[in-house]
Amino acid sequence: MRSALGLLITLALFLTSFVPARAAWLPNGVPIGNAVGDQRGPAMVSLGGGGFIVAWSDGRNVSSGVVYAQRIDLTGTSQWTANGVALSTEIFGYQSGAVIASDGVGGAIVAWSDYRNANFDIYAQRVNAAGVPQWTADGVALSTAAQYQATPTIVSDGAGGAIVVWEDNRSGNSDAPDIYAQRVNASGIPQWTADGVAVCAAAVYQYEPKAVSDGAGGAIITWQDWQNGSPDIFAQRVNAAGTPQWTADGVALCTAANEGNVQSSPVITSDAVGGAIVAWSDSRSGGYDLYAQRVNAAGIPQWTADGVAVCTHTSNQATSAIVSDGAQGAVVAWVDSRSGPAVYDIYAARVTAAGTVQWTPDGVALCTAAFDQIEPAVSTDGAGGAIVTWKDNRTGLGYDVYARRVDALGVPHWTPDGVAMCTVDREQAGPTIISDGVGGAFVAWNDFRSGTNYDVYAQRVLDGVIPTGVGDTPSASVVALASNYPNPFSAGTTIDLSLSSDAMVEIEVFEVTGRIVRTLELGRVSAGSKPMGFDGRDDRGRLLASGVYFYRVRANGTAVTRKMVITR
């Protein structure tokens, strides 16, 4: 047995942190909002390892909709009033398109498009960890400018408030919206220009805004833009004071020219160092392909002009979703028609910080089951890979919800073609997903199982298993890992390993490129919890350079991967 990692045996009960005190998860999901009328459009925010908060548009008291929210713990148990807490009950209008961000102290800030003034405006409400709305009854107005404001997106400002971005038609041309934004502080007070600051007010059209935090109290925003006469992809950074930081009306991420060329449906994730990575659907070659670009904190595109090709298979690629890989790159998932012109599957690829596309050329297949798989959503697995969920019609009888994990090396895990989140009769649609903080994920969706109206349901998946009973989670895997500590580290770090039974153990440390730099065969290790020290060296005893690494523990056919960061 080699001892370079310094195996130290102690007694701990790490494994019990994965065992819920009570288990409310059900095979086809737990109801979050199933009052009378429609509950639709769930938006979730993670509470780290403590569950999540979900908000939705709710029609229980009106024919249109108001906004409700609920907090769910790790066991699937609702923590607030049954069927949710009302964030707005303004019945003279319609509230829709709820988006949500953490307030940093166990609660959330929710924004939505609101028709109470006979034009769509933008409102927001904060709800604390106890489920009590904190601001003006029925929400704070962020913009009530002329004409309509719609399709909001939201990010935390890192100081208890949030930045909300939307399409804005105050210019008066119903076919030419602009992009505006507003910051609201923890007390519900808008911080920037009344009715929001202009992110882009160029001529013609700006659509589909998406945003991420810039890590400094501001936001980076991307959108589809027609200012050059055809649909391109632009981005802008707005600082904490509401001042645009880059070129007026945005930096062009892609203006690739071709007759009939369209760049559309941008999605965005942080690069973790003040910039962002944007992916989009692109028809520069005739059919729709998938491209991506990284833009740094100064607004300078970092990769190939007009983006790197993530997938250019002769089929069409569309409806992408994106998440950070934790190493300044990203994992992108999309809908792909390579199985046939009217058949849609789910594929994924990883793009490194340098713009190198990894894994199988043109993507790794996560689901190629019969009929259609559409509407992907993606979350991190906490170890450089991702968990993807989607709407699935493999039976040909109606849409269900499935999910699957792909690791940092592009290896799919769990049941081939995905684990069923819900296969109950009638349609499930619009799935959304967030990390559960311990390597799994929470998934929520619109559910028509009642046959009369849509409700909101949710499910948890961990190690490819739905934890429907006490003891389910530990039995899903022989090995469990907590994140190493400290992390980042310089001189050394500790890895907590827990085994549910005696096992042959091997540990590998590898770079973000997938190259293995350290291998340790520990032989047979007894069940229990063991903290192991790692000195940050490779197989030849040399200090590893500063950067992001992954460590993978194999035990009796099971493999678990986590991320660590070395800073010299």
Domains detected in the chain: 479-566 (2.60.40.4070)
Nearest to 339 by CA among 347, 331, 330: 347
Looking at residue 135, its pLDDT comes to: 98
What average pLDDT does the segment 70-80 reach? 95
Looking at residue 167, its pLDDT comes to: 97
Is 16's pLDDT higher than 60? no
Separation of alpha carbons 137 and 188, rounded Å:
11
CA distances from 346 to 392, 479, 568 (A): 10, 29, 40
pLDDT, tens digit, 9 for 90 and up, residues 97-136: 999 999 999 999 999 999 999 899 999 999 999 999 999 9
pLDDT > 90: percent of the chain: 70
Is 259's pLDDT higher than 70? no
Confidence tier at 312 by pLDDT (50, 70, 90): very high
Q: Global pTM?
A: 0.82
Q: Which residue has the higher pLDDT, 533 or 513?
A: 533
Separation of alpha carbons 153 and 257, rounded Å:
29
What average pLDDT does the segment 13-39 reach? 68
Tokens standing for residue 344: 């849609």
Contact present, 548 and 328 (Cβ < 8 Å): yes
The b/e string for 421-451 (b: 16+ C-beta within 10 A; e otherwise) is bbbbeebbbbbbbbbbbbbbbbbbbbbbbee
Looking at residue 488, its pLDDT comes to: 85
pLDDT, tens digit, 9 for 90 and up, residues 435-490: 998 899 999 999 999 999 999 999 999 999 998 764 444 334 467 776 677 878 88
Q: Name which of 232-241, 355-364, 499-508 the model is least confident about.
A: 499-508
Is 251's pLDDT higher than 70? yes
Is 14's pLDDT higher than 60? no
Backbone angles phi, psi at 475, to 5 degrees: -70, -10
Contact present, 566 and 490 (Cβ < 8 Å): yes
Task: Give the length of the chain.
Answer: 568
Contact present, 67 and 110 (Cβ < 8 Å): yes
What average pLDDT does the segment 394-418 reach? 95
Is 329's pLDDT higher than 70? yes
Q: Which range scores top for mean pLDDT: 131-135, 492-496, 526-530, 562-566?
A: 131-135
Average pLDDT of every residue of the chain: 89
